[in-house]
Amino acid sequence: MCAQPCRGSPSSGAGQAAVRPLSLPLPLACHATIAAGSKEGGVGVSSFLNGIRVLDLGQYLPGPFATRILADMGADVVKVEPPQGDPGRYFDPDGKPGTSPFYPLINAGKRIINLDLKDAADAEVFLQLIERADILLESLRPGVLDRLGLGYRQLRARNSRLIHCALSGYGQSGPARLVADHDIGYVAMTGMLSASGTREMPTIPYPPMADHAGSSQAVISIMGALLARTRSGEGCYLDVSLMESLLYNQALPLQVPPKLGAGILNGGAACYNVYKTGDGRFVTLSSVEPKFWAKFCTAVEHPQWIARQHEPLPQIDLISDVADLFARHTLAHWEARLRPVDCCYQAVLDYNEVPEHPHMQARGLVRRDGNDVHVLFPTIVDDVPPTARAPLADSSWEQVLASWPAV
């Protein structure tokens, strides 16, 4: 961090920031965790990023979800919102202005402060926080921070060790960089919608695919940058786009583009499909390997289907035959008949059934807290489960500066 006083001006010696050491360099800390992690005294995931300070300038879902992942791993995350708050506070389940049930969940484990970055005094406070931070994640439109005099060059002058992650829809360059859009638009540009849905038309994926892919890609990039900083002593600028984060997952369909609803993994195969039961519920079958398909066909007393597994795609007739079979009985019937069979069968759960599922109960990663449902960080380290998140906490910049001493 830059060794500057609380209200100091930018250093004339950019890049000469003093280093605030962690108790162990990050690679050594990871090795220490592995060595110490045991059933008797393991170290959970919530200690991985202890001592790492994060400023969150994100709004709505992608940026805040990324910084919540960092908070889940123990980082001290301070969310900086404009005076009126993150607009995500007021996005109700129907998209109307109201109170969001999502905002407290996405921002759990963080402290919230308000700053008007258009105000000179508040902008200076923000720069003081930058001096003491390890990571800045922002999801503003490209160019906004530059127009405020808070672009990467200005921030780097105050803290050369800062890892600045800019998470935007289409990236910081290119003809689409300033295009306004939301998740469905990002998904559309990747080509994914052309292969997702029925043979009649694409289906909108939910929850938002590109938003979550971008959040994960931002965290992966930040973790890599933290590791690199232990060697170089320098931070960096990370340009992460939501669209390209999802595009990164399109290797299979880009290599061999499937037709809508007609490929082996997108609705064209009987052995890998969704079927409706007689009581209006749904089940999945993913018996791609011949041994699983054979077990399914045998269990439902249709051994003649075994040889039909590799009929030409789309397998309209075979899919219809299997669909007719599932439609004859209720979900309870199929649970009793196929659950004991090793054939890659699952019931499609409603969301309100998920927390009570025996496997969820056994793993302990889905927890109810009043009306809220929390899914904890999905990694169990050396048999140590993740800890419950603290609720978000309103704070002030004075309190944050006091808790982030300059060195």
Catalytic residues: 182, 211
Cβ-defined contacts of 180-186 (< 8 Å, 24+)? 182/208, 183/208, 183/209, 183/210, 183/211, 183/242, 186/210, 186/242, 186/243, 186/246
Helix runs in 278-357, H state only: 290-299, 316-326, 331-338
Q: Is the dihedral of CA 295, 299, 303, 305 positive or negative?
A: negative
DSSP, res 196: S
Place of tokens 């001006």: 9
- Cα 216 from Cα 246, distance rounded (Å): 10
Backbone angles phi, psi at 168, to 5 degrees: -130, 175
Q: How many CB atoms lie within 10 A of CB 120?
A: 10
> H/E element holding 56?
strand 53-57
Calculate the CA 44 to chain-centre distance.
20
Please name the residues in contact with 67: beta carbons below 8 A apart, sequence gap of 6 or more.
54, 56, 58, 75, 77, 79, 110, 137
Helix axes 62-72, 209-232, angle to 10 degrees: 50
A 10 A CB-CB count for 177 gives 16
CA angle 267, 269, 275 (to 5 degrees): 65
231 Ramachandran zone, left/alpha/beta (phi>0; psi -120 to 50)? alpha
In whole angstroms, give the CA distance from residue 228 to residue 160. Answer: 14
Type of residue numbered 98:
G
Give the sign of the dihedral formed by CA 46, CA 20, CA 166, CA 111: positive
Chain center to CA of 406: 31
Residue in this structure with the two tokens 């302990």, named with its chain if needed? 364
Integer CA distances (angstroms), 251 to 192, 246, 383, in order: 11, 10, 34
